[in-house]
Amino acid sequence: MVLPIFALVIALIFHTFITSSENLSSSFYIESILVLLFSIYFIFYLIYKGFDTKITDSVTKVFTREYLYKYLKKELKENKEYTLLLISIDNLNEINSRYGIKNGDKVLFEVAKWIGEYFKTKEIINFPLGHIKGGDFIVGLKGDKANYKTVLELMFLKADEFKVDDIEVKISGAINDTALSIDIYYLIENLFELQNQNYKLVANLDDEMNPSELESHVINAIKNRDFEIMTQDVFEKDSVIISECFIKLKTQNHKLIHPKKYMKVLDKLRLMVDYDLIVLEENIKNCKASNKDIFAISITPTSIRNQFFLSRVKELINSNSNAKNRIIFLLSEKEYYSRIENYNIILQSLRNIGIKIAIDRLGSIHTSFLYLRDLDIDIVRFDSYYTKDTNENKYKNVINGFNIMAHQKGVKTWIKMVENEKEYNLSKELDIDYIQGKYITPLKKL
C-alpha cells in the first residue's frame, strides 16, 4: 500500500517537472524535497513498526511467544548446553481483578524490565526474553543450569520484595537445561510441571530421563505389565482394615519410575485407561491371594467416566467374587466435573458392585470440598498438608472440622502420614476412622 503511494508521488513530481519546468518556482523544489523526505521516513517507519509487531509483545516490549520459540529453536541447535528459565507472576489474575487490567499491564512491563536489568547487574547480556502467556516469561541462557544456580537463587530472594507502585508482585519460577531434552516444547512444558510442584528453583534433574526414552520405558512397562507394587496398612482402631497400593513402573534394566514422572506420559500417550485397568486387575489377583484385606488404589477420575473402563470394571468385579466389597477407588482431580448428576450415577453403579469410593486430598484441592458436598461417596482422606502437623492447634481444629463435616454426611474419614505417637494419639482422640503412617507400619513390597 505504501510503495504504490510513494511511486505515485514520485510520478506526479516528475510529470510536473517535465511539463512545467520553465514555470516552476524555487518553492516547488523545496516542497518536493520535503514531500520525498517525509515519504521515505514514513515508509521506513511503517517497515519498522511491522517488524516490531512481529517480534515483540505490545505490552511487555519483549519477544512474542512465536518469535521466542523460533529464536530458541535456533539457539538449541547452535549450543550444546543451554538453559531455560521460567519466571512467573503468580498473582497476575488477582492484580487484574483488584487494580484493573491497566495496572496489570504495567506490572507485566515492569517485571520484564526488572528481569532484564537484574541479569545486566550480573553481567549477563544479550539473552532472549519472551512473554509466552499470562504472567509467564521465558529466559534463554547459554551454558548449563549449574552456571546460573547462585545467580537465580539470589534473583528469587530479591523477588520477595518486588513491588510496582505499592502493588505486591509474587514471583516464582523453575529452571531446566538441554541435559533433559533439546525439544523446546518439551523443555517449556517441563518448566511448568516443575513450577506446579511448588519449586521456586529446581536444579536437581540428575535422575530425569530423556522424554522419548521415558515414553519408550512407559510403553514397554504397560505392554509387559512390568511394575512394582508396595503396600501400606491402614488401621481402624487396632485392626488392619485397608492396604493402600503404590505403583512404580520398571524399565527394562529394572530401574523404577515414580508416578510423578510417568503419569503425565500416560495422559499424553492416551494410556491412562489401560494403566488403571492393569492396576485394578493386579489388585483383583491380590484379593484372591488374601482373604481379608481391602485394597485401595488411586484411579484417574477421567477413567471412571470412560465407558469402556466402566464396562470392563463391572465385568472384572462380577466375574471375581473375591473382589466384591474389597476394592476402594481413591479419586483426586483439580477441576470440578460439572455434570455432577451423571458422575453420581457412575459412582453409584460402582458402589452397587461392591467398590467403595474415596475422595483424596480433602482440604488441599477445592474440588474435594465440592465433591464431599455433591457426591455420594464412602470415604474422604485428608491432605497431608494438614495431617503432618495435627499437633498444632490450628491444624487440629481444621482436621476436627473436616471430620465432623464428613461424619454428619455419613462419610468415613482417613488420615495418612502419621509419623509419631503424639500424632497417632491425637488422630484417635479426634475419632478419625482410618489411620495410616510410618509410625504404625512401614511400606512393604507386595
The pLDDT tens digits for 197-232 are 654 444 443 455 677 788 889 999 999 999 999 999
Percent of the chain's residues with pLDDT above 70: 84
**Which residue's C-alpha cell is 494410556?**
271
pLDDT tens for residues 94-144?
A: 899 888 899 999 999 999 999 999 999 888 889 999 999 889 999 999 998
> Residue 409 pLDDT more than 60?
yes
Give the type of residue at 138: I
Mean pLDDT, rounded, for 401-415: 94
Give the type of residue at 99: Y
Cα distances from 253 to residues 50, 211, 226, 395, in angstroms, run 55, 17, 11, 44
Domain ranges of the chain: 2-55, 65-196, 211-445
Q: Which grid cell sits at 294? A: 481391602
8 A C-beta contact, residue 264 and residue 218: no
Cα distances from 173 to residues 71, 197, 201, in angstroms, run 21, 11, 6
Distance of alpha carbon 392 from alpha carbon 331, whole angstroms: 28
Q: Comparing C-alpha atoms, which of 84, 71, 269 is closest to residue 194? A: 84
Mean pLDDT, rounded, for 133-158: 86
Residue of 278 and 208 predicted with greater confidence: 278
pLDDT confidence bin for 58, thresholds 50/70/90: confident
Question: What CATH topology corresponds to 211-445?
Answer: TIM Barrel (3.20.20)
- In this prediction the pTM is 0.62
pLDDT confidence bin for 89, thresholds 50/70/90: very high
Cβ-count burial of 322 within 10 angstroms (0-12 exposed, 13-18 middle, 19+ buried)? middle
What pLDDT sits at residue 148?
A: 86
Mean pLDDT, rounded, for 408-419: 93
Mean pLDDT, rounded, for 239-255: 91
166 phi-psi bin (left φ>0, alpha ψ -120 to 50, beta other): left
> Residue 166 pLDDT more than 90?
no
207-233 burial, b at 16+ Cβ within 10 Å, e below that, comes to eebebeebbebbeebbeeeebebebbb
> Residue 13 pLDDT more than 70?
no
What pLDDT sits at residue 444?
A: 87
Measured over the CA atoms of residue 155, residue 158, residue 160 and residue 164, the dihedral's sign is: negative
Cα distances from 306 to residues 104, 284, 301, in angstroms, run 41, 20, 9
What pLDDT sits at residue 190?
A: 86
Contacts 24+ apart (CB under 8 A), 68-75: 68/128, 68/130, 68/132, 68/138, 68/140, 69/184, 69/185, 71/128, 71/130, 71/140, 72/128, 72/138, 72/140, 72/184, 73/184, 75/128, 75/140, 75/142
Q: What 8-state DSSP symbol labels residue 124?
A: -
Cα distances from 321 to residues 49, 245, 286, 326, in angstroms, run 73, 20, 13, 10
pLDDT tens for residues 319-338?
A: 998 888 999 999 999 889 99
Distance of alpha carbon 22 from alpha carbon 229, whole angstroms: 100
> Residue 22 pLDDT more than 80?
no
Mean pLDDT, rounded, for 380-400: 75
Mean pLDDT, rounded, for 275-295: 87
Does domain 65-196 correspond to CATH entry 3.30.70.270? yes
Percent of the chain's residues with pLDDT above 90: 44
